[in-house]
Structure 1
Amino acid sequence: MSNLVVDTEEHRAIRESVAGIVSRYGQEYFLERGRRGQGIEELWKDLGASGLLGVHLPEEYGGGGGGMAEAVVVVEELAAHGMPMLIWVISPAICGSILAHHGSEAMKREWLPSIADGSRKMAFGLTEPDAGSNSHKVATTARRTDTGWKISGSKYYISAIDQAEAVLLVAKDAEHSTPEKSALSLFVVPTNSPGLTLQEIETSIVSPDKQFTVFLDEVEVGEGALIGTAGQGLKQVFSGLNPERILVGAICSGVGRFAIDKAAQYAKQRQVWSTPIGAHQGIAHPLAEAHIAVELGRMATMRSAELFDAGESAAEAANIAKFAASEASLQALDQAIQTHGGNGLAHEYGLSELWFITRLMRTAPVSREMVLNFVAQTSLGLPRSY
């Protein structure tokens, strides 16, 4: 199958390394663990030991010294083998990137090597039941004490926190906020802290990465838990949000590749009236169109990663990449299921289980409507609608 994203020699080696590891497990391993609510610790540790969790993190803290472009290759290739991993986006990408940019030296040395080798994970706590896409309306509040802070509130749809030793928490800083304007601070909060409790959200998603509501009742953290500068959390958190959008583009690009590859193989082999169904334009044209959309999404995703790595403003590119790739992956997955007929819903083919996690990517981490708002107002200069 053609590939419009041309890999460097390094990127090709990364793809081959990912493929070599995941092929020893197979998609059924990933799906079965997801169905049973179990983790994928063996695979995760293998990826860490091969340097594939920290490719984008600084070498002095156990990473590979690469950038977001290398992270895109890893995440896309995992999804292209039927393994879309939310935890990769959350722990190494969002949390790792924020810590690398804004964490104290002690925090970097404590967390980045163990995130990179897969021995520890960190969750990310931003979204809330009543805040939605508006980060300025975060209600979870951190109040200063003699020894640090007390944090109270709740977070919603927090992925894989049951696997994590800590959560990178975004909270309203009571000391720096005014009635007119909230100021945010970021904290690393151990998940075993007294007063922190989890409640699983039952969803239709088949994935080892489950979703949770997190409750914080006077959770105490010390001075060393603060990331960067108190009250400057909104600026700091964007060190993780653009990588998040870029890597969601990578997940979706991989799912799109997986779906198109499965469908093309099936359309060549499946015969009706002695003719492969792929010979019919009713099958061939929709698959070709879906392939075009997936490849365009892949190119947008890699371009956004290149801009981010070059230190350029990547917000527009990251949002466009996330939008294009998520729409393309759903188109590809839907057409792949249609191509398989009834077999598209059979567990044997591993397509239908990817539907809900891929559909989630259309809504999270930023909805398609908010991307369109951003592009309309930032790219086109149209008046704000909210």
Structure 2
Amino acid sequence: MTSTHAFTESEERQELRKAVAKLAGKYGRDYFVAQARSGEKTTELWLDIAKHGFLGVNIPEEYGGGGGGIGDIAAVCEELAAQGCPLLLMVVSPAICGTIISRYGTEAQKQKWLPGLCDGTGTMAFAITEPDAGTNSHNISTTARRDGDGWLLTGRKIWISGVDEADNVLVVARTEDARTGRLKPCLFVVPTDAEGFEANVIPMELVSPENQFQVFMDDVRLPADALVGDEDGGLVQLFAGLNPERIMAAAFSTGLARFALGKAAAYAKERAVFGQPIGAHQAIAHPLAQSHIEIEMARLMNQKAAALLDAGDDMAAGEAANMAKYAAAEAACDVVDRAVQTHGGNGISQEYGMAALLVATRVGRIAPVSREMVLNFVAMHSLGLPKSY
């Protein structure tokens, strides 16, 4: 007989969610928006998460982490967002960079960088996207060339989150294969204060304390140990960070979706028109109920993706992670639109905070991979259709 609890998260994971929700609830949406609108950071919350052991929950214990999996750090990300505090750097620092360094770094690199990712003092950004490559990561032109014992790195990156809050950036570059002359992808840890490294903030309509940057690197000199993983490891090492990125993006979206749905449902119970709460009308109730269903389906797919990744099934995890990210972004965009409509005129006021979520959730349809590229992936890999691009 099959266990009825096959789709229930472990008691430990559920307790983790409660603890993170309780901590984040002390800060809440008002704190997050106030910090964003005043140009301040959420460092206090970040360090508080770290102090309680939540920030590095997916990183091995010997480096200061919790020894958990991607499902655990995704739960932390989701519960923060569900309390109105969606932290983009959760996706980048512990999940992408932490996973890649844990899996492919040398012992010395792990000891050097992982403890800081766990305690919040060594936040690391991630740089893959380029102005001329966009979604086509095979066209990355940032190059690293050998120079004595070290490397010289030159290139441009765009849409890089949190450079101003990070000590280092994990940069995806290319090195020349001495045998074939072809360029192959490699990962380098680059200090943000390195000579030749410049980062310019991109003005955004997004209400967030975390900024986006365009990065320029002009012959940035790096030591030999800046290279993470095998020089010949290629795309395998890069993709080790991209599945966690999609799972975290899905958690980010479902968390925000839950937050918006909670606000809309509360408003629909309180707001009375024509002598009764507006939630009594199916025109209000049905869209919100539909969103609840869509959010729960996206969460379940993300749970599957995380379980597959933690079990080491990278191929199946890639398919599930892309599906989860797609479903979560769609559910989040739809529920925020419905939440704005539920609030009526109040939905576009700063007081109720719904309108800012329109931009915040819309990002999920674009990044870290566009919905169209997810559909391309599913068409090719799940359905076996010809490659269309």
* Per-residue deviation, residues 182-207 of structure 1 (Å, max 9, x unmatched): 30111101010000001111111111
2:95 corresponds in structure 1 to 93
Matches of residues 141-290 of structure 1 in structure 2 within 5 Å? 141-176=143-178, 181-290=182-291
State how far apart, in whole Å, the 2-side matches of 1:277 and 1:178 are: 68
User: Is the CA contact (8 Å cut-off) linking 1:173 and 1:231 kept in structure 2?
Assistant: no
Of stretches 184-193 and 343-352 in structure 1, the one that deviates more from structure 2 is 343-352
Higher relative contact order (CA 8 A, sep 6+): 1
Report the 3-state secondary structure (helix = DSSP H, G, I; strand = E; otherwise coil) of the residue aligned with 1:154.
Answer: strand
User: Is the CA contact (8 Å cut-off) linking 2:141 and 2:174 kept in structure 1?
Assistant: yes
1:27 corresponds in structure 2 to 29
State how far apart, in whole Å, the 2-side matches of 1:309 and 1:76 are: 18
Matches of residues 102-117 of structure 1 in structure 2 within 5 Å? 102-117=104-119
User: Is the CA contact (8 Å cut-off) linking 2:177 and 2:183 kept in structure 1?
Assistant: no
2:48 corresponds in structure 1 to 46
Matches of residues 307-386 of structure 1 in structure 2 within 5 Å? 307-312=308-313, 313=315, 314-386=317-389
**Unaligned 5+ residue runs, structure 1?**
none
Percent pairwise identity? 52
User: Is the CA contact (8 Å cut-off) linking 1:151 and 1:217 kept in structure 2?
Assistant: yes
Deviation at 1:174, TM superposition (A): 2.5
**Cα separation, partners in 2 of 1:222 and 1:49, compared to 1, 3 Å:** same
User: Is the CA contact (8 Å cut-off) linking 1:144 and 1:175 kept in structure 2?
Assistant: no
User: Is the CA contact (8 Å cut-off) linking 2:301 and 2:320 kept in structure 1?
Assistant: yes
Of stretches 101-110 and 352-361 in structure 1, the one that deviates more from structure 2 is 352-361
Deviation at 1:348, TM superposition (A): 2.2
State how far apart, in whole Å, the 2-side matches of 1:137 and 1:190 are: 24
State how far apart, in whole Å, the 2-side matches of 1:192 and 1:233 are: 27
Deviation at 1:358, TM superposition (A): 1.3
Aligned residue type for 1:13: E
Report the 3-state secondary structure (helix = DSSP H, G, I; strand = E; otherwise coil) of the residue aligned with 2:237.
Answer: helix
Deviation at 1:178, TM superposition (A): 5.0
1:294 corresponds in structure 2 to 295
User: Is the CA contact (8 Å cut-off) linking 2:267 and 2:343 kept in structure 1?
Assistant: yes
Deviation at 1:271, TM superposition (A): 0.2
Aligned residue type for 1:334: D
User: Is the CA contact (8 Å cut-off) linking 2:65 and 2:115 kept in structure 1?
Assistant: yes
Report the 3-state secondary structure (helix = DSSP H, G, I; strand = E; otherwise coil) of the residue aligned with 1:144.
Answer: strand
CA RMSD of aligned residues (A): 1.4
State how far apart, in whole Å, the 2-side matches of 1:215 and 1:5 are: 46
**Unaligned 5+ residue runs, structure 2?**
1-5
Deviation at 1:18, TM superposition (A): 0.9
State how far apart, in whole Å, the 2-side matches of 1:25 and 1:5 are: 31
State how far apart, in whole Å, the 1-side matches of 2:179 and 2:324 are: 34
* Per-residue deviation, residues 75-109 of structure 1 (Å, max 9, x unmatched): 11011011111100000100000000011111100
State how far apart, in whole Å, the 1-side matches of 2:289 and 2:180 are: 55
Aligned residue type for 1:48: A
* Per-residue deviation, residues 206-244 of structure 1 (Å, max 9, x unmatched): 111110000000100011101011142321011110000
Report the 3-state secondary structure (helix = DSSP H, G, I; strand = E; otherwise coil) of the residue aligned with 1:340.
Answer: helix
User: Is the CA contact (8 Å cut-off) linking 2:155 and 2:216 kept in structure 1?
Assistant: yes
Aligned residue type for 1:215: F
Report the 3-state secondary structure (helix = DSSP H, G, I; strand = E; otherwise coil) of the residue aligned with 1:20.
Answer: helix
* Per-residue deviation, residues 23-64 of structure 1 (Å, max 9, x unmatched): 221211111111222211111111001011111111111110
Report the 3-state secondary structure (helix = DSSP H, G, I; strand = E; otherwise coil) of the residue aligned with 2:183.
Answer: coil
Of stretches 150-159 and 233-242 in structure 1, the one that deviates more from structure 2 is 233-242
User: Is the CA contact (8 Å cut-off) linking 1:298 and 1:325 kept in structure 2?
Assistant: yes
Aligned residue type for 1:192: D
User: Is the CA contact (8 Å cut-off) linking 1:102 and 1:236 kept in structure 2?
Assistant: yes
State how far apart, in whole Å, the 2-side matches of 1:30 and 1:168 are: 26
Aligned residue type for 1:16: K
Report the 3-state secondary structure (helix = DSSP H, G, I; strand = E; otherwise coil) of the residue aligned with 1:220.
Answer: strand
Aligned residues: 382
State how far apart, in whole Å, the 2-side matches of 1:136 and 1:379 are: 22
**Cα separation, partners in 2 of 1:177 and 1:114, compared to 1, 3 Å:** farther
Deviation at 1:20, TM superposition (A): 1.9
TM-score, with structure 1 as normaliser = 0.96
